[in-house]
Structure 1
Amino acid sequence: MRKYRFVQVDVFTNRPFGGNQLAVFPEAEGIADAEMQAIAREMNFSETTFVLPPTDPDHDARVRIFTPGQELPMAGHPTVGTGFVLGAERGKADLVFELGVGPTPVSVEVTNGMAGRATMQQRVPNYWEAAANREEAASLVSLGAEAVHASLPILNGGAGVDYLYVPLRDRNDLAAARPDAAAMTRYFGDAFHKAVYLFSIERDAESDVRGRMFFLVNGATLEDPATGSAAGPLAGYLVNQGVLPPGSIRLRQGHEMGRPSDIEVTVTGAADAITRVTVGGGVVKVAEGTLFLP
């Protein structure tokens, strides 16, 4: 039997059993592509990462990211969580990962080997008009058209992975949302990433915006406790629309799932002229183990 060590962390939280779960395989050489996908299904987290030697010696690692249903070119909480694991194990504060979208800088702060923080730099997001009108967008999550915010646009956007961004009227509508697998399947069709990101711009002491993300995996809907790859473009959206100024933006997600996640996004630049986006937060190590393969 082949043996592969893995580390489990909770990402975008400062306490165990919050945030988004992640399994990291720090020495993944020898695991075939099909095996990586099978392992991600076995772990059954939103994502699992596999760390390989870099193709460029100036970089620290090549990182492959798998959901239970597909490989992604990039993702937020897997990059942040893997950054913490490798930073803690290698004693490095600055790393560069080779992702499917290219070299990605990650900065790491380790408190005691069991907890800390990590922040990734993302590509400047882009946006384009969504095909969905208010009624169709609301139907994807079992809401009426009146639940969609009256003045903010429904847009597609992304920085490596695309989302349908749907602004809602308030947090009550956000809490009431329930994904409709049949409606999402019809709407997204053969799109690579079938995901809708809902958000409310009601502010409080904990956050500037709250969100929920639903996505399709093998015809079934799942909810993600924290979506770093969506957080950067969401913050850019809010800056572009004049909802929030550039700077630090606090996003809370996972509240409705009982896994509250706090994502910190920094947007540099100005509306329609964003120059830099970073996404980060706390990471807590919760488990280690060994996986056996034939």
Structure 2
Amino acid sequence: MRTLRYVTADVFTSVPFTGNQLAVVFGAEGLPTETLQAITREFNYAESTFVMAAEDARTTRRVRIFTPEMEVPFAGHPTIGTAHVLVATGEVPATGDQMTVVLGENVGPVPVSLRLESGVPVHAQLTTALLPEERVEVTDLDALAAAVGLTRDDLVGGDHMPTGASCGLPFQIIPVRSVAAVTRARLDQAAWRRVLDGTWAPWPMVFAMARDEQDASLPAHVQGCDIRARVFVPGSTVPEDPATGSANAALAGYLAARTPRDGVLRWEVAQGVEMGRASRLSTEAEKSQGAVQAVRVGGASVIMCEGTLTLRH
């Protein structure tokens, strides 16, 4: 018999019962991968993480990330939430008003900068281990739009054509003309299988610029965002994700590549609104001499519960 401790958090939000749920499990060293996968299925959140002793002197802790179906090399909300939990619970001692923890993930060391108030973390920001990458695999825009319940006329086009993009985990970036189109989007499983299943970037991210479409009915913590987004993850336990750090990192890289100026470019993104789990993600891309040098994603987290899990065999 073996007992593991866990903490759950809502990530990319400052409001309980919104954002993206995460389970952070401690003490799983030596357990086989199939057991970690089974524990993840038991929580049945979009992702769970397993925190272990650092294997690399450059890192604070080793972290493995699982969806209910598979282990993934990198994901944003598990990285942000795990760093928050480590400091908020005292697993990693708080130091000053600003500190950094480095998580050793399968994609490599991922630094997370935390801002603290009175020793309590209030915001965490990761820097992706990989710079943005793009691949155009899908050229049938009518079929691509149909996969998310839209038409080609809903797509922006021009310099903002759909493309696969990644900062460690690939997504199909689909810019649309309005927030109304984002809200109207619906995943068509059969159309998705025909168009995106098996491609490098199979998961659609539908987004629209929202600066001129502010909605007073939105929850207060997602008011005033620059972008409204939705991320569909067909084939997983959760077919739509309420807050996807890895997708928003890819989006920041995509937008920066199409912005004709250097500097630090920033966007505030509202995601999960249509699911009733409104989330706010702060994204930025650092660009110099026309090339993206770094991508960062950040947000708040709220610890929800703590407990133990007993393995009886």
TM-score range, shorter chain: over 0.9
Matches within 5 A, 1:72-91: 72-88=72-88, 89=90, 90-91=92-93
1:198 to 190, 201, 206: 206
Extract unaligned runs of 5+ from structure 1: none
1:102 to 108, 124, 134: 108
Residue 235 (str. 1) matches residue 215 (str. 2) = no
Q: Could you tell me which amino acid in structure 2 is paired with residue 99 of structure 1?
A: E
Shift of 1:133: 2.5
> Which secondary structure does the structure 2 equivalent of 1:216 belong to?
coil
Instruction: Look up the match of 2:233.
Output: 215
Instruction: Look up the match of 2:31.
Output: 31
The Cα offsets for residues 242-288 of structure 1, whole Å up to 9 and x where unpaired, read as 38974221111111111111111121115841111111100110111
> Which secondary structure does the structure 1 equivalent of 2:280 belong to?
strand
> Which secondary structure does the structure 2 equivalent of 1:83 belong to?
helix
* C-alpha distance in 1 between matches for 2:112 and 2:34: 28
* C-alpha distance in 2 between matches for 1:21 and 1:181: 24
Moved more, 76-85 or 39-48: 39-48
Moved more, 157-166 or 118-127: 118-127
Check conservation: 1:10, 1:286, Cα contact below 8 A: yes
Residue 118 (str. 1) matches residue 107 (str. 2) = no
Matches within 5 A, 1:9-48: 9-48=9-48
Shift of 1:194: 3.1
Residue 136 (str. 1) matches residue 138 (str. 2) = no
Q: Could you tell me which amino acid in structure 1 is paired with residue 124 of structure 2?
A: A
The Cα offsets for residues 48-97 of structure 1, whole Å up to 9 and x where unpaired, read as 00011221133211111111111110000000000111122221421111
Residue 255 (str. 1) matches residue 262 (str. 2) = no
* C-alpha distance in 1 between matches for 2:56 and 2:250: 28
> Which secondary structure does the structure 1 equivalent of 2:233 belong to?
strand
The Cα offsets for residues 214-238 of structure 1, whole Å up to 9 and x where unpaired, read as 01225x7610001100111211211
1:264 to 264, 282, 285: 282
Shift of 1:181: 1.6
Is the alpha carbon distance of 1:163 and 1:243 closer, same or farther for their aligned partners in structure 2, counting shifts above 3 Å? farther
2:181 to 162, 173, 176: 173
Check conservation: 2:46, 2:238, Cα contact below 8 A: no
* C-alpha distance in 2 between matches for 1:67 and 1:214: 14
> Which secondary structure does the structure 1 equivalent of 2:115 belong to?
strand
Q: Could you tell me which amino acid in structure 2 is paired with residue 98 of structure 1?
A: G
Root-mean-square deviation (Å): 2.1
* C-alpha distance in 1 between matches for 2:302 and 2:118: 10
Check conservation: 1:252, 1:262, Cα contact below 8 A: yes
Give aligned pairs, total. Answer: 293
Give the TM-score normalised by structure 2.
Answer: 0.87
The Cα offsets for residues 126-150 of structure 1, whole Å up to 9 and x where unpaired, read as 1121314221111111222211114
- Percent of residue pairs bearing the same amino acid type: 37
Shift of 1:113: 7.2
Shift of 1:187: 2.4
1:149 to 149, 156, 175: 156
* C-alpha distance in 2 between matches for 1:233 and 1:112: 33
